[in-house]
Chains A and B, each alone.
Chain A
Amino acid sequence: MALNNEIHEALEKICIEKNIGENTRKKIKDYLDLLSIGGMNKSETDTRIQNILEGMQNGA
């Protein structure tokens, strides 16, 4: 079960307001969706977080 639509919409709106690039927006969305479904191991969680934070730094 992925995150509900209201959270997705809110996330999209806030990310745009904060000038988060489309790529990183998608990565955040995927990360939250996977978190809600569960089953991500630590290594995958860390890799996804690393990509998100790097994306936020680079403005991607």
Chain B
Amino acid sequence: MELRILGWESKGLRCPDAELSFNPSDRTDFIQMNNGTGKTTTLLLLQIALTGVRDVSKITDGMQGDEKDLERSAHDLINEKSEKGTFKLHTKISGDEYTFELDISKARYGMDTIKIKTTAPNMNDRGMNAGWHPPEEAKVYLSLNFVQVFVFNGEKAAKLFTANDSAKKTIDTLCQFNILDESKGYVDKYVTEVGELNNTGAGAQGTETRLRNRRTQYTDRLLVVIEECKVEKKAITTKDHEIKKIEEWYKNEINKEKKRKDFQEKHDKDIKENTETMLAGQRLFYEQLINPMKMHKAIKKRLLTFKENLTKCKLPEDVASQWFDELSELDNCICGTPIGPKEKKSILATKKDYLDDEVSGILNSIKNNIGNHANTNSQLSDSLKAIMDKDKQALTLTTKYDRFIASLGEKDEKFKKDYEKVGKLKLEVEQHEVLVKEYEAPGDVDDLRHMTDSDELLCIKTISNICDELKKQIDEISRTTNLRNASSCFSEIIDETRKYASNKIHAGIVNSVQNDIDKILKDAKPPIKIIDIKNKINLNRSKISSGQQLSTAYIFILSALKYSELKVPFIVDSPCGAIDDVKRVAIAKTLPLVTEQFITFITPTERDYFANPIKDITKGKCSYTTIFWLDEDVIRWIKNNNISKKELTLKENWGMVKGYKGFEVFNLADKSNR
């Protein structure tokens, strides 16, 4: 992520109504302002615009050190004489320009006091959106904790040396451990969502075990019924074979005598004819059964009366809705009344109360069918009687044949026994067949839905379907369980990665920072050594000067930013704090080399040993702006120093000089110190 500040505009706020724009090729932008000119307000506004945080107290909490000197509300950001103010921050984020506009009003309260608007070329609604909308990839680096790493008051750098959440978060963000934490969060969220979707949240493992046990019962039962079915089928085959063998013997016995053979042939013929006649009778019976006009004469009479009544009522023709369609198209009604738009609307509204095409069609079909069968007489009882006669005939034929067969073995005990055995075997085969039919029946939907107890089931297909259904349920739960296990494994990997990497990264940063400290703070006695940076910067010395602390903080932040390859500007108010002049030069020589944009608010007293070395090291790639409140001393200073109009902006109560000349010669302390 690369962030560059292009400039800002402020109006009606507790800082001058300035418009600043920075040249992209400049490495350092100096803004020279005396105390009381609105530096802190500007720093606050920059942080609100960069983070989208509208709670000013949150920002001031992070900005201040030990002293409570920043207690201010959003209303305090507005000029005493104004009712509202605006602040526009122009930025370039990863190549695209984004403007964050703050609208602050004394007429609004709480979080509504500050309204934010984002303008960017790729946004909907003509490039403008209410709210704070930086690109997604930048959000993680525009958190308040992180922004306060690179936008801060140099005098308040001590927080990195005390164990607090802010120091830890800053160090984690600089080391990119926040990405690792985020990755775990997303994985947890994904697994929870999948669990909710499959209804397999907490307790899924217990449910899975129960389902697996249940499936085992059904699969065991399935094996049993398949085996039972095989046994039944085998019994049928064996018994059929035995029956066939005995019947073969009958045939041989019958064929031995012509008289017996003739009887057999006649019997076969009679049975065949009787069966065919019975089937024809059954077909006729069914045909009449499904036709109410043929079922019974009383029903037929009533249906004919129904048809006559429909005709008398002129149904369905006269109440068909299409009649209203046709009527609505006429110029005059059948009563002669002219049909205008109002009448037409009324006619069409009436249409819905009459019969539509579908109902009319059904009524017409009923009428036609009744008419077509008006002359048909019912043959239902005759058909039934014919079937019963043929059934009786079949029984007679069977009895006659049984007697014939029995007569064959009247004097043969073995034949008699075999004959009885065939009867018994046929009965048994029938019973086996009933069972096989149950085993091989199509699956029962109710048994599947209710998952009938496995012991009560015989149908192979039903049991198999239940097994499949249970497997499906187990698979769904099992998928979530496996996902949970994989998610735990992922978290372990990330935690261990962080632990392992943190040792190296911390060591790398410590080493890099230590090298710079050794160069810049070489005069420190005893030498300043960093012990670790686990949750804060731990030094070998409990007491160091504020100047040494500031130098160490700068060196730490810049080394860490370099380490994480982030390109962000470094925006610092009072960059020198209490550092002595020698160290100012040393810091000044380092800062522009490690950041591509260094924006700093300085006072004239900080200028000489800080700004000039930076000018040298950047080979003049700097911008200079001096901002001041207008008074007689300032006007005199402008005249005395021949500040050209081109470089000067003068407003009602403040002024601004652009360029190095004005910057270099500005020597007025703030009014309270003159």
Interface residues of A (CB under 8 A from B): 1, 3-4, 6-7, 9-11, 13-15, 18, 20, 28, 31-32, 35-40, 45-46, 49-50, 52-54, 56-57
**B138: contacting residue among A4, A10, A38, A57, CB under 8 A:** A38
Q: Which of A6, A49, A54, A56 contacts B186 (CB 8 A)?
A: A49
17 examples of A-B residue contacts, CB within 8 angstroms: A1-B1, A1-B566, A3-B176, A4-B505, A4-B563, A6-B501, A7-B176, A14-B496, A31-B183, A32-B183, A38-B138, A45-B190, A53-B187, A53-B490, A56-B489, A57-B485, A57-B486
Q: Type the 1/0 row for B18-57, where 1 means its CB is closer than 8 Å to any CB of A.
A: 0000000000000000000000000000000000000000
A13-B137 contact in complex given A6-B508, A36-B176, A53-B486, C-beta closer than 8 Å? no
Cβ–Cβ contact B497 & A14, under 8 A: yes
For B138, list chain A residues within 8 Å (CB): 38
Interface residues of B in 482-502 (CB under 8 A from A): 482-483, 485-487, 489-490, 492-493, 496-498, 500-501
Map CB proximity to A onto B161-204 as digits: 1 under 8 Å, 0 otherwise. Answer: 00000000000000110011011001100110100000000000
On B, residues with C-beta under 8 Å from A are 1, 135-140, 175-176, 179-180, 182-183, 186-187, 190-191, 193, 482-483, 485-487, 489-490, 492-493, 496-498, 500-501, 504-505, 508, 563-566
Residues of A within 8 A of B191 (CB): 53
CB < 8 Å neighbour of A38 from B135, B193, B492: B135
Question: Given A36-B179, A53-B487, A18–B493 Cβ distance below 8 Å?
Answer: yes
Which residues of the partner chain B approach A15 to less than 8 Å between Cβ atoms? 493
A20 & B136 in contact (Cβ 8 Å cutoff): no
B663 to chain A, nearest CB (A): 34
Report how far A27 CA is from B187 CA in the complex, Å.
13
Neighbouring A residues of B193 by C-beta, 8 Å? 46
Measured between beta carbons, the chain A residues less than 8 angstroms from B190 are 45-46, 49-50, 53
Q: A14-B496, A28-B493 are in contact. Are A3 and B187 (CB under 8 A)?
A: no
Bound Cα distance from A57 to B489, whole angstroms: 10
When distances are taken between beta carbons in the complex, the residues of chain B under 8 Å from A28 are 490, 493
- CB neighbours of B175 from chain A (8 A): 4
Which residue of B has the minimal Cβ distance to A31?
B183
Check A1 against B136 for contact (C-beta < 8 Å): no
In the bound complex, what is the Cα–Cα distance between A57 and B136 (angstroms)?
31
Inter-chain contacts of A35 with B (CB < 8 A): 179, 182-183, 186
- A18 / chain B contacts, CB cutoff of 8 Å: 489, 492-493
Q: A3-B176, A32-B179 are in contact. List 13 more A-B contacts (CB 8 A).
A: A1-B566, A7-B176, A7-B179, A10-B504, A13-B500, A14-B497, A35-B183, A36-B179, A52-B486, A52-B490, A56-B486, A57-B483, A57-B486
Q: Which of A10, A36, A54, A57 contacts B497 (CB 8 A)?
A: A10
Shortest Cβ distance from residue A42 to the other chain B in the assembled complex, whole angstroms: 9
Majority SS of interface residues in chain A? helix
A51 to B186, CA, bound (A): 14
Q: Name the B residues within 8 Å of A32 (CB-CB).
A: 179-180, 183
Q: Is the CB of B186 within 8 A of A45?
A: yes
Residues of B within 8 A of A11 (CB): 493, 497, 501
Q: Which of A6, A38, A46 contacts B505 (CB 8 A)?
A: A6
Nearest-CB distance from A50 to chain B (Å)? 7
Give the Cβ gap from A53 to chain B, nearest Cβ, in Å.
4
Distance A33 CA – B645 CA, assembled complex (angstroms): 52
Which chain B positions have C-beta within 8 A of A31? 183
Q: How far is the CA of A39 from the CA of B1 in the complex (A)?
A: 11
- Cα–Cα, bound, A39→B135 (Å): 8
CB of B140 within 8 A of CB of A38, answer yes
Determine the chain B residues whose CB is within 8 A of the CB of A13 once the complex forms: 500
Q: How far is the CB of B300 from chain A (nearest CB, A)?
A: 68
What are the 7 closest A-B residue pairs judged by CB atoms, nearest first?
A38-B137, A10-B501, A10-B500, A53-B486, A56-B486, A6-B504, A10-B497
Determine which residue in A6, A9, A15 has the highest number of CB atoms from chain B within 10 A of its CB, and name it: A6
Q: Roughly how many angstroms separate A36 CA and B490 CA in the complex, as a whole number?
A: 17
Closest to B483 in A: A53
Write out the residue numbers on chain A whose beta carbons fall within 8 Å of the beta carbon of B135.
38-39
Which residues of A lie under 8 Å from residue B139 when comparing CB positions? 38
The answer on a CB contact under 8 Å between B504 and A49 is no
For A14, give its contact among B1, B137, B500 (CB under 8 Å): B500
- The CA of A20 and the CA of B402, in the complex, are separated in Å by 80
Residues of B within 8 A of A45 (CB): 186, 190
CB distance from B4 to the nearest CB of A (A): 15
Quick one: which of A13, A31, A32, A36 has the most chain B CB within 10 A?
A36
> How many angstroms between the C-alpha atoms of A39 and B489 in the bound complex?
26
Cα of A15 to Cα of B542 in the assembled complex, Å: 40
Give the CA-CA distance A40 to B565 in the complex, in Å.
Answer: 20
Bound together, the chains give a CA A42 to CA B220 distance in angstroms of: 45
Given A1-B566, A6-B505, is A14 in contact with B493 using a C-beta cutoff of 8 Å?
yes
A18 to B: closest C-beta gap in Å:
6
In the complex, what residues of A have CB within 8 A of residue B498's CB?
7, 10
The distance in angstroms between the C-alpha atoms of A4 and B565, with both chains bound, is 8
The CA-CA distance from A36 to B140 in the complex, in Å, is 8
A53 — nearest CB in chain B belongs to which residue?
Answer: B486
Chain A residues near B489 (CB-CB < 8 A) = 18, 56
Query: How many angstroms between the C-alpha atoms of A41 and B139 in the bound complex?
Result: 14
Docked complex Cα distance between A54 and B191 (Å): 12
Compute how far the CA of A38 lies from the CA of B179 in the bound complex, rounded to whole angstroms. 10
Across-interface contacts of B496 in A (CB, < 8 A): 10, 14
Task: Find chain A residues with CB under 8 A from B504 CB.
Answer: 6, 9-10
In the assembled complex, the CB of B202 is this many whole angstroms from the nearest CB of chain A, namely: 18
A4 to chain B, nearest CB (A): 6
The answer to whether A39 and B176 have CB atoms under 8 Å apart is: no
Contacts of A6 in B (CB 8 A): 501, 504-505, 508
In the complex, residue of chain B having the shortest beta-carbon distance to the beta carbon of A25: B493
* Residue from the set A10, A28, A39, A52 with the largest chain B CB neighbour count within 10 Å: A10
Residue pair A4, B564 in contact (C-beta under 8 Å): yes
Question: Residue A20 contacts which of B183, B482, B493, B565 (CB distance < 8 angstroms)?
Answer: B493
Chain B residues closer than 8 Å to A38, beta-carbon distance: 1, 135-140
A36 CA / B181 CA spacing, docked (Å): 11
Bound complex: CA A32 to CA B181 (Å):
10
B584 to chain A, nearest CB (A): 32
For A50, what are the chain B residues with a Cβ–Cβ distance below 8 Å? Answer: 190
Residues of A within 8 A of B183 (CB): 31-32, 35
Chain A neighbourhood of B566, CB < 8 A: 1
